[in-house]
Structure 1
Amino acid sequence: MIPYVRDITFDYGACDQVSPLIRRVVANNPGPFTFLGTGTYIVGQGEVAVIDPGPDLPEHLDAILAALGPGETVTHILVTHHHSDHSPLARPLQAKTGAPIYGCAVGVQAEESTIKTEAGADLGFAPDISLCGGGAVLKGPNWTLEAIATPGHTSNHICFALHEENALFSGDHIMGWSTTVITPPDGDMTDYMESLDLVKARGFTTLWPTHGPPVTEVTPFVEAYIAHRRAREAQVLAAVAEGHGRIKDMVPVLYAAVDKRLWPAASRSVLGHMIDLVRRGLVTTDGEAGLDSDYRLAG
């Protein structure tokens, strides 16, 4: 079982000092994919970085600007990925502050679908400075942020490590309140599992997801995240072995305890597992792996 952390105290639009170097302002955009809203983080004092400005809400922009102290300036705007609850406010914030936008441009375009699997996509997102591939180190007074490429939830997902606090701004890669949706073709289960292993190996003390409270027992939490995915994979394989090779027949059983509003998104996550299993030679299907394919065990 994943030891979810969901307790968080805040007021929309208020600025909370949540660690010596981190402030948080939560946008009023709660929903099934955003939990209680987008948490925008302000890192440092004096010259600061803003991580995940959030949805294009004028009141949230005002709240971020109001959170700045006298004489403070935004020198970096960082975006973990291009979903509409993370990136759209980057350009309006830049218009107010002049700060460059850092991130990774949209790579794989999501296929047209009537299935709502996220809060929406900002498909025009294009940073001023590309961090694709990770490794870049950004600095300000008394703070250092390292870009870590974590594809999986999206092809362009970037996490940011704050060296001074051994903390990771994990975007939607790892969230305390829920598992992460993997939606092919932009989401990729193979990449996602490798990215989870990468984060685990770094030994962070704290994870700061964009939605919800921090994760402070990081290693066991990430291990539980990985175990959950492997358990789901085993369930999918068992369903296929029993002759239930269609994704639409698996989801109501595998996700019986999950909000039904998320079942369409869950079907995409099962597809992510199927694509990964086909790549690994454990499952086979005729033609390309898709939502309506009929799957069977290989061999």
Structure 2
Amino acid sequence: MSIRYIKEDALPAGAVQELGRPGGPRLRRIRAGNAGPFTFLGTNSYLLGEHEVTLLDPGPEDAAHRDAILRALGDERITRILVSHTHRDHSGGVAALQAATGAPSHGFGRHRVPEGGDQDFTPDHRLADGDSVAGEGWSLTALHTPGHCGTHLCFALEGEGVLFSGDHVMSWSTSIVSPPDGDMAEYMASLERLLRRDDRLYLPGHGAPLPDPMPFTRTMLEHRQRREEGVLEVLGRHGPATVEELVPFLYLGLDARLRPAAARSLLAHLLKLAGQGEAELAPDGAWRALPG
């Protein structure tokens, strides 16, 4: 079954979309203008609550996006900044918004490995799995969902069936899983964790809101499982191969700009298979399947 992505998002960069429903807390989305092959049309920032507002994901270091967030507030003020994970298109804007608002930042912690990611960001307050933050009429629970990034948090809006899914589940594309910080075993386990929930709406880090997310998330997990099966099938049929040699077999019609990202995710699959005793890396750099 193919994944039915949502490839359109009518929200212009810098504009504000009201997402709340009657009786629930006020919720707004603002999209940054940092479009690209890995960010789609841009990073989503969310404003939760009224008067004393919580900002979820300040987005990249970008003056236009910072100004759009501040403009959306009117006479309100940001009292808390939540960060889903330590990639610069999500945490890069923290410093400028803290300078403008004085609001403390909250996140899982520093980037897990000493390369890649946002090495400059350290949250003022660390959020562990299951920790809660609350405002007037709402409460969020942090869910540690590593895989795409070791520090990745989703945030569940309690009583509303809404999950801020960050880059773990996005409506427009699968997520890159790039070792050493990205981990395919963790990623798939985190997908399984979300499937044990019953959320009605995902609000992702990139792309449009995702209604009825459970079938979508289940298909994403099945997609990863099929990819794993495909890796073993290709290695079994064609013999040992490097990651780069495997990419054309497993990613047909791939945009050339995404080839390096595909190789990273494929490496993540191979490392997971090695951990399960189903594949191994030879000294010459080629991977081979192990007999089951």
Per the shorter chain, which TM-score range?
over 0.9
1:164 Cα offset (Å):
3.5
User: In structure 2, how many angstroms separate the alpha carbons of the residues matched to 1:184 and 1:140?
Assistant: 36
Give yes or no for the alignment of 1:35 onto 2:40.
yes
The reply to whether residue 26 of structure 1 matches residue 21 of structure 2 is no
Structure 1 letter corresponding to 2:27: I
Read off the aligned partner of 2:277 and give its amino acid letter.
Answer: G
Matching residue within 189, 203, 209 for 1:214: 209
Partner of 1:264: 260
Change (3 A) 1:86 1:107: closer
Q: Does 1:285 align with 2:281?
A: yes
1:46–1:141 CA contact under 8 A, matched in 2: no
Aligned equivalent of 1:201, options 196, 213, 232: 196
Cα distance in 1 for residues equivalent to 2:271 and 2:243:
12
1:85 aligns with 2:89: yes
Q: Which residue number corresponds to residue 74 of structure 1?
A: 78
CA RMSD in angstroms, aligned pairs only: 1.4
Q: Percent identity?
A: 44
Are 1:171 and 1:208, in contact at CA under 8 Å, matched by a contact in 2?
A: yes
* 1:146-157 equivalences in 2 (<5 Å): 146-157=141-152
Q: Does the Cα contact within 8 Å between 1:108 and 1:185 map onto a contact in 2?
A: no
CA distance in 2, matches of 1:53, 1:31: 18
Name which of 163, 168, 171 aligns with 1:168.
163
Does residue 9 of structure 2 align to residue 8 of structure 1?
A: yes
Runs of 4+ with >6 A deviation: none
AA partner of residue 225 (structure 1): M
Code of the aligned partner of 1:152: G
Higher mean displacement: 224-233 or 254-263 = 254-263
Partner of 1:117: none
1:161 is displaced (CA, Å) by 0.8
TM-score (norm 1): 0.92
How far residue 110 of structure 1 moved from its aligned partner, in angstroms, is 5.9
Taking the aligned partners of 2:280 and 2:43, their CA distance within structure 1 comes to: 39
List alignment gaps of at least 5 residues for structure 1.
112-119
Q: TM-score, normalised on structure 2?
A: 0.94
Partner in structure 2 of residue 114 of structure 1: none
Give the conservation status (yes or no) of the 8 Å contact 2:145–2:190: yes
Q: Which runs of 5+ in 2 are unaligned?
A: none
SS in 2 for 1:268: helix
SS in 1 for 2:90: coil
Q: Distance in 2 between matches of 1:36 and 1:187?
A: 23
**Structure 1 residue matching 2:178: 3-state secondary structure:** coil
Q: Tell me which amino acid in the other structure corresponds to 2:39.
A: T
Residue 51 of structure 1: aligned partner: 56
Distance in 1 (CA, whole Å) between partners of 2:267 and 2:257 is 17
Q: Structure 2: how far apart are the matches of 1:17 and 1:164?
A: 19
Kindly state the Cα deviation for residue 244 of structure 1 after the two structures are TM-superposed: 4.5
Matched letter for residue 249 of structure 1 = E
Partners of 1:6 and 1:158 lie apart in 2 by 24
2: CA distance between counterparts of 1:100 and 1:258? 41
Paired amino acid for 1:23: R
Q: Deviations over 1:100-120 (max 9, x none)?
A: 100022343265xxxxxxxx7
Q: Give the corresponding residue for 1:60.
A: 65
Structure 2 letter corresponding to 1:124: D
- Tell me how far apart the structure 1 counterparts of residues 42 and 30 of structure 2 sit (CA, whole Å): 10
- Aligned-partner Cα distance in 1 for 2:33–2:194: 29
- SS of the residue 1:202 aligns to: coil
In structure 2, what is the Cα distance between the partners aligned to 1:219 and 1:140? 27
Paired AA for residue 2 in structure 1:
I
Deviation at residue 69 of structure 1 after TM alignment: 3.3
**Distance in 2 between the 1:60 and 1:37 partners?**
10
2:288 corresponds in structure 1 to 296
The code of the aligned residue for 1:222 comes to: T
184-193 vs 243-252, greater mean Cα deviation = 243-252
Contact 2:240 2:289 in 1 (8 A): no
Paired with 2:27 and 2:114, the residues of 1 have a C-alpha distance of 33
Change in 2 beyond 3 A, CA 1:169/1:81:
same
Structure 1 Cα separation of the partners of residues 65 and 287 of structure 2? 46
1:134: how far off?
Answer: 1.2
